[in-house]
Structure 1
Amino acid sequence: MLQRTLAKSISITGVGLHSGERVRLRLHPAASDSGIRFRRIDLAGEQGRIVRLTPELINDTRLSSTVVTTDGIRIGTIEHIMSAFAAYGIDNILVELNAPEIPIMDGSSLPFIYLLQDAGVIDQPAEKRFLRIKQPVMFTEGDKWVRFTPYEGFQVTLTIAFDHPVFNRSNQTFQIDFAGQSYVDEISRARTFGFMQEVELMRSHNLGLGGNLSNAIVIDDMDVLNPEGLRYPDEFVRHKILDAIGDLYILGHPVIGAFEGYKSGHAINNALLRKLLAQPETFEWVTFPHNRQLSSAFHPLPQVA
């Protein structure tokens, strides 16, 4: 299988969920083996340089996955667009933005799926590299845990645990195997969510400043406040899977394996990636010159009607 990039540049505008700032985002094709890179075009000099994404750069995980470099470059809330990149198997791309945060759009990854579909995706003359899990790797923090296990494909299983009437009415565990299920149909439409009682605390920490009922599910003491309700009966756990897929793709390469988590979040997902990379005996890098050798989980490009 070959590496992928965009067929053409494309842009979109929106608002940052936490910063509340207006954002213009532009995606550009990139050369083979250049990876997923970001540039803050509103910053000058060294801070305006191109940053190649790695798990070690995720240094702020308060309610999102945020790049923070040693010289203070911030690129916030990258998990939703990274989830869309994972769905399309994008290997090489340059993401430019004129603010400190990726726009939230409607709180899901679907607007980014539409954006990638409009730009088009093309193969490049270099082999795509996959990270194959050889041995189980687990990270725990209190009662939370996440783990990779060997699996010939890509499967994600997550469980959330909220003691709240809204969550008690829905399934809090969901599993998806991408060899037989569709990211677009099952995951991409699931929106981020938060509790009304936490809004003031978040805003006192300069978080959630751009949040509203058009880009997040908001929950009060008893119910969902969004007049349209939920897109899936179990939208909450599906969104956590959307986030996890984006967090894992910060590796810049697809994972051949199974990921499972209980009460997972951005911090613990990133900790698992760092632990994995620190134990080279637990994984191997592989390529597939012939697509038929590769699990069908990685073959189809998402299509939205």
Structure 2
Amino acid sequence: MIRQRTLKSSVTATGVGLHGGRKVTMTLRPAAPDAGIVFHRVDLDPVVSLPADPYSVCDTRMCSGLQRGTAKVGTVEHLMSALAGLGIDNVHVDIDAPEIPILDGSSSPFVFLLRSAGIEEQAAPKRFIRVTRPVEYRDGDKWVRLEPYDGFRLEFSIEFNHPAVDGTATRVLVDFAEHSYERDIARARTFGFMQDVEFMQANGLALGGSLANAIVMDEYRVLNTEGLRYADEFVKHKVLDAIGDLYLCGRPLLATYTAHKSGHAMNNELLRALLEDRTAWESVSFDTADDTPAAVARRFGAEPLAA
């Protein structure tokens, strides 16, 4: 049986929020089977809990944020991506600020935290959403699509008309039956342009942004002295974001995701379009080796739970 996963123990990290620039303390805790991913604003009285839910997404300008009443949790996508990449179904996330810490701008520090806490299987079947027919969302020349596939594969292409970006690969295909999330995706950092950062900071956004937690470019080049971590780091970060955005549905997808110039808002629109069309998906779990697709078995059945 492909089982659900949670953490063996709690783990805590401190950092700054990318947009608010505030210090944030975050604790990741084990959760019971079928609890899902639940964020808790422990700085509020009473504590407000915000389950991962595409219908709670409230702010997609530069991140994916959740809202319940007046309580918000921003910039959840990198943590959600790491949880999806490691196949973790159930975890409580306690934070004392309205934003998840940005750390180094990738999901690699979250992977490290999750590995440090330890990952354990639970006595409950992992529940997948299997896409059964294509679903698409378009906005002008931008588009995003989900199609049936007995695994999880993502293909992304970008266009920025910037020499630093255009000089790298602008299309990537990742199939998790063959690729490793930790090795091939997790280290890709968020990125931005100096003029955009200055404009955002003047308008109260990206106040915690710096060369320590993002790739920053001027009109011609990357300003980070260490350069890029991957030759295709820009487009790989878009894949990293998409993995996190899609995991807000609360279950791993069995699908091919294809996108051109998509972002957080379009990923959320796609997820809502999928969930609202009950002819386009089904809920499945796999109890025996015979009924488990080979790509699922390779990703979740043989993947070590400890690094």
TM-score, shorter chain, exceeding 0.5: yes
CA deviation digits over 1:61-92, x for unaligned, max 9? 011000122x1111000000000000111111
Q: How does 1:201-240 map to 2 (within 5 A)?
A: 201-240=199-238
With normalisation by structure 2, the TM-score equals 0.96
* Aligned with residue 282 of structure 1, among 280, 283, 298: 280
Whole-Å separation in 2 of the counterparts to 1:126 and 1:193: 38
Q: Which amino acid aligns with 1:299?
A: G
Counterpart of 2:7 in structure 1 is 6
Where does the alignment leave 5 or more consecutive residues of structure 2 unmatched?
Answer: none
- Give a deviation string over 1:156-187, Cα, whole Å, max 9, x none: 00001010111121110000111011111110
Q: Secondary structure at the match of 2:279?
A: helix
Match of 2:153 among 146, 152, 155: 155
User: Any residues of structure 2 matched to 1:137-152 within 5 Å, and which?
Assistant: 137-152=135-150
Tell me by how many angstroms 1:304 deviates.
Answer: 8.8
What's the CA shift for 1:53?
1.5
1:77 pairs with 72, 75, 78, which one? 75
Query: Per-residue deviation at 1:49?
Result: 2.3
Q: Distance in 1 between matches of 2:34 and 2:299?
A: 22
Question: Counterparts of 1:232 and 1:206 in 2: how far apart (Å)?
Answer: 30
TM-aligned CA distance change 1:11 to 1:257, over 3 Å = same
Q: SS state of the match for residue 77, structure 1? A: coil
How many matched pairs? Answer: 302
The 3-state SS of whatever aligns with 1:281 is coil
Q: What pairs up with 1:1-305 in 2 under 5 angstroms?
A: 1-45=2-46, 48-69=47-68, 71-291=69-289, 293-294=292-293, 295=295, 296-301=298-303
Change (3 A) 1:86 1:300: farther
Q: 1:40 to 1:302 in 2, by over 3 A?
A: farther
Change (3 A) 1:160 1:101: same
How has the CA–CA distance of structure 1 residues 164 and 105 changed in structure 2, closer, same or farther, with 3 Å as cutoff?
A: same
Q: Is the 8 A contact 1:88 1:302 kept in 2?
A: no
Q: Distance in 1 between matches of 2:161 and 2:127?
A: 41
Shift of 1:143: 1.1
Q: Which amino acid aligns with 2:21?
A: G
Structure 1's unaligned 5+ residue stretches are none
CA RMSD of aligned residues (A): 1.3
**Distance in 1 (alpha carbons) for counterparts of 2:231 and 2:59:** 31
Q: Deviations over 1:4-33 (max 9, x none)?
A: 110011111111011100010000001111
- Mapped to 1, the partners of 2:179 and 2:110 lie a distance apart of 19
TM-score using structure 1 length: 0.96
| Percent sequence identity over aligned pairs | 50
